[in-house]
Chains A and B, each alone.
Chain A
Amino acid sequence: MNSLIPLLIAAPLVGAALLLLGGRALDRFGHWLGTFASLLSFVFALLLFSSMLGRSVDQRPVREHLFSWISVGTFQADVSFQLDQLSMTFVLLITGVGTLIHVYSVGYMAHDERRRRFFGYLNLFLAAMLLLVLADNYLLLYVGWEGVGLASYLLIGFWQHKPAAATAAKKAFIVNRVGDMGLSIAIMLMFTQFGSFAFGPVFATAHQASQGRLTAIGLLLLLAACGKSAQVPLQSWLGDAMEGPTPVSALIHAATMVTAGVYLITRSNAIFDLAPTAQLAVVCVGAVTLIFGAIVGCAKDDIKKALAGSTMSQIGYMILAAGLGPIGYVFAIMHLVTHGFFKAGLFLGAGSVMHGMNDEVNMRHYGGLRKYMPITYVTFGLGYLAIIGFPGPSGFWSKDRIIEAAFAKGGTEGWILGAVTLIGAAVTAFYMTRVMIMTFFGEKRWQPDAEGHEPHPHESPKSMTVPMILLAFGSVFAGGLFVLNNNFQHWLEPVTGFSEGNSPLSSGVVMALSIACMLAGAGLAYVVYGRSPVPAVPPVGSALTRAARRDLLQDDFNHAVLVRPGSALTAALVFFDSKGLDGFVNGLAASIGGISGRLRRVQNGYVRSYALSMFGGTLVLVATTLLMRSV
């Protein structure tokens, strides 16, 4: 059964290779081939899952060694996989949601002439993401990490003819490089400290490392997580990444890839648990991003960008929970899974709306769509109830547990974190209610598109609605199933550990508070957007609103602090290079050429000169040999 593990990755990898190398011959059925590869991987995942459930708890993690990749002295890099409860959770999420989104894309991309390539990239992403979560060492994880980065770059820039998409792809790639550097340096530190970067030896000997070393590794891993998961200060790429096709936003930039940072921190729990400073940094990053994303989400009129802000904020919740240590790991992952369902559903819903509205993304030009797109309305609505934490659907259960865990951290810290998460819950309810009302309720504010076509909203084809319906099921029921008998906690506990913490508030009180916050937020949004008509042109708004529309000035900040000094430095280096180094190098090359030209004359073609040179050479050789002896 374990031999299925490499096949999990192989299926989409082969799919990607076929689709990308196969050429036009595959155009007709390439999308189904890609979907089949993804489905196959999901079936393998289910088989492995059922086999894992059949084993006793301590037998569940399995390891599969494929081959030895690089072996130089003590440097031992293996291609081997580890499938434990944590990886299994991710594998099921990635392949399950991935397959649904493949199906959705068949309809969504039906009119795109490069659809085959799109599916090739999607399969490539699946393979890389699976490698990331299945690797049993950090180096192999890094391969997957870079692989998903590449796939993300290719897919954000999929419509590369649009300058905005091309720029967004580059931005995502470059910002991610910063995080990737963190991961690579962390791996190097691990190797120097532990002599290995495989999970087993590193975690087993982590306690022997000095506090400073562990903190450094932890902070570098956090930097990596910030890049991939769009956390402050490396959050700036996610909003622009919405230039990619919507299924990509749903799969990569909402449900799976952006949660890789959470995976990394949770996987490295043995390191973080020993480095409280690094953990504190994780919590701070999570808390700041949680509020940051939520504020941005409130101000955006572009439906996908509003959802992107929300993604950032929700991942902030997960990072915060992961920073709490054993109190929070389980809930971080639980929220990750439920978020994977409802956020993917919301994005697919948004895609469906855009599909019906001539690719319009401005919510101020929507309105009253619930009658025209009933299935989208219902599935989007269920996702909405899940994300705001309405009691019942899955978001409520997972978010509530994170808020509880934040309080359970104890002390002042616990109170602050608890308050932040509650405020976040209120703001979440506000901006999501705003999205819901502006899109599906109120009067029609439809506008003709650039070519003057009036929109004729209609329900999307089955290939799009069926995945949305299935995801809506997940959004509604997953959370309840997870908390029933503490199923999820018992499932993941062997990997991440679990502790109750000591909450100053009882769970009932926390639940009541979170419901109250949610109702307050939603109510405020109803007052602002539901009771009075939404203006088609955005009002000027307060200073905060204006800043939030510009993503809280993140790009201005980066430009002033990083880009401008960077350009100045580059200009100085270019000057030094072209005036100083190049002069030296060119001079050297010219002088070698000159010497060569002069030496060439010795090669005059006369055999007598050659013989003479040999004779001279022999004389010198003999003389030197004799001289060497006499000195």
Chain B
Amino acid sequence: MSVPLLHGAGSVHSVWMAAAGGNTPSIPAPQLEYGQLSPMLIVFGAAVAGILAEAFVPRRARYTTQVGLALTGLAGAFIALIVLASQGYGSTKSGLIAMGSVAEDGPALFLQGVILLAAVVAVLLYAERGLDPRTEGGPRDAFTPQGSATPGGEQERQATRAGFASTEVYPLTLFAVGGMLLFPAANDLLTMFVALEVFSLPLYLLCALARRRRLLSQEAAVKYFLLGSFASAFFLFGSALLYGYAGSFRLPEIADAVNGTATTTAGLAISTHNDALLLIGLALVAVGLLFKVGAVPFHAWTPDVYQGAPTPVTGFMAAATKVAAFGALLRLFYVALPGLRWDWRPVMWAVAILTMVVGAILAVTQQDVKRLLAYSSIAHAGFILTGVIATNRQGLGAVLFYLLAYSFVTLGAFAVVTLVRDSKGEATHLSSWAGLGRRSPLLAAVFALFLLAFAGIPLTSGFTGKFAVFQAAAAGGATPLVIVGVLSSAVAAFFYIRVIVLMFFSDPQPNGPAVAIPSVFTTMAISFGVIVTLGLGLLPQYFLDLASKAAQFTH
């Protein structure tokens, strides 16, 4: 898909090509720094191994193999990341690798770390198979036994009875994680696009694989796929326009062209004269990324997809996709277009304000926990955007910290959602959560903690993160934005606390849902969420320092 467009962009620049010599004799073999790429390589390797395992490992052993492989791969990548960070990549050494198309710098390392940890938690949630009663067949997880079977059909019933399981979800997730690792590190628009597609395609598939309410799940997947492709097209078109302007896909070189510090050639002199290319390109690329973070008015997919997807996948998407997409957004605005900030800031202001306000207001009337969390994630995207708009190093650090904090609250919250069940699976309607605090005080307290963190109540990670981004935005001259942010937070606090009130101060329904006893996997995932939420709330200084130390892009 990208090849013809590339040629198209090339032909626009035939003048420039001719001036530069035109006759490239041969394509030199790229020089790759395998050591610095190792986190991604390990994840991709594990994913490939997972596919092989799917083919060759006997059915009974697949679940164990896949879970082990996924966790080992993620852990290995995380260790590689730590090693890289401790060697000074990301702080003292230059992070530019793979011929300048990847920048493994501070923000990239930090966000990759967050993505890997979030993925570990997500895999733990995937691996949970103890929530449904074992009526027939084998133990059940959140995924359909056979993705190709018609929902509700005979084939599906047979697959269930035979104890099939879609263990493909593990390699699919690993591919997505690999793409997400590359996304915030991508230093040119093409690499960024490839990464975008690499992590999006597995997610589309994963969304369709819910065991319960499969029609809803498949509908969500189709919607996500259609709208995602639409957004990708915008991104790609925008990239082409930017290439047309700057004569390069490399973000630093685009920055040079914008600032007028690029080596002037005849072709560049003509194209940089045309600001429309640059501005439209900027807007379109931004649209592609804003879609992924779920900013208004590109948010419409979020509630439907979050509701339809299997809950562990929703948690993974909500946490890791957001981290990766914000990473790319930051790199675009901070590396490629800082010289243009007076053009994009007013527009982004409007987007941020809309995102915060619409997210918060729409959440007020939601009746479904997963949709509620979806709108809450939209509002949070708005809060994070205020930090992005700050365009200072403080803002960058604040966004990094916020993403870390937010990921684990979100994963924890969705993990709790998987546990509240009735005979039809997860009971996501809010009315069935009434009085949960009386029947399962511990679980309700944990969920209340996550809600308080979402609301940004002090002593939770949410407060620290929100405080950091608002402080940075105010320092960056965006005080009105901060005021809107605080007011939206107040609106948002209403519906978070409404759920707490519902859980603790309402009478339980007579046929209300029961809380399933989780296995060690879900317990670990939730505990991890609680620890991070409280840890970043009570003793945030170390991680704040880490984030602000990492907040330096390599150009």
Contacts and interface: CB of A to CB of B under 8 A. Distances in A.
Interface of A: 589, 592-593, 595-597, 599-600, 602-603, 605, 607, 609-611, 613-614, 616-618, 620-622, 624-626, 628-629
A618 B365 contact: no
Interface in B199-245: 222-223, 226-227, 230-231, 234
A598 B494 CA distance: 18
A607 B347 contact: no
A625 B284 CA distance: 10
B491 interface: yes
Nearest to B280: A622
A610 B301 contact: yes
A625 B276 CA distance: 10
A603 B491 CA distance: 20
A600 B362 contact: yes
Contacts, number: 85
Given A614-B230, A622-B280, 20 more contacts: A592-B361, A592-B491, A599-B358, A600-B365, A603-B304, A605-B304, A607-B223, A611-B226, A614-B291, A614-B300, A617-B296, A617-B298, A618-B234, A618-B284, A622-B279, A622-B283, A625-B282, A626-B279, A626-B280, A628-B347
A415 to B, nearest CB: 57
A607 B287 contact: no
A617 B287 contact: yes
B362 A596 contact: yes
A609 B284 CA distance: 20
Given A592-B491, A629-B275, A603 B362 contact: yes
Given A618-B234, A622-B283, A626-B280, A613 B300 contact: yes
B456 interface: no
Contacts of B364: 592-593, 596
A617 B230 CA distance: 13
B350 interface: yes
Contacts of B350: 624
Interface in B359-388: 361-365
B343 A628 contact: yes
B287 A621 contact: yes
B449 to A, nearest CB: 21
A607 B279 contact: no
Contact of A611 (B227, B275, B304, B362): B227
Contact of B297 (A605, A614, A625, A628): A614
B367 to A, nearest CB: 10
Interface of A, secondary structure class, is helix
Contacts of B540: none
B279 A629 contact: yes
Contacts of A611: 226-227, 230
List the 5 closest pairs (A to B, CB-CB), nearest first.
A617-B297, A610-B300, A596-B365, A596-B364, A622-B283
A618 B347 contact: no
B361 A595 contact: yes
Q: Name, among A600, A617, A624, the residue most crowded by chain B CB atoms within 10 Å (CB to CB).
A: A617
Given A607-B223, A614-B227, A621 B365 contact: no
Contacts of B230: 611, 614
Contacts of B283: 618, 621-622, 625
Contacts of B282: 625
A611 B291 CA distance: 11
Contacts of A593: 364-365
B279 A621 contact: no
Given A613-B300, A614-B231, A625 B279 contact: yes
Interface string B470-513: 00000000000000000000010010000000000000000000
7 contacts: A599-B361, A607-B226, A614-B227, A614-B287, A617-B298, A618-B284, A624-B347
Contacts of B494: 589
B50 interface: no
Nearest to A605: B304
Given A592-B364, A596-B361, A613-B300, A625 B226 contact: no
Contacts of A605: 304
Contacts of B223: 607, 610
B343 A629 contact: yes
Contacts of B287: 614, 617-618, 621
A593 B363 CA distance: 10
B164 interface: no
B286 A621 contact: yes
A625 B362 contact: no
Contacts of B363: 596
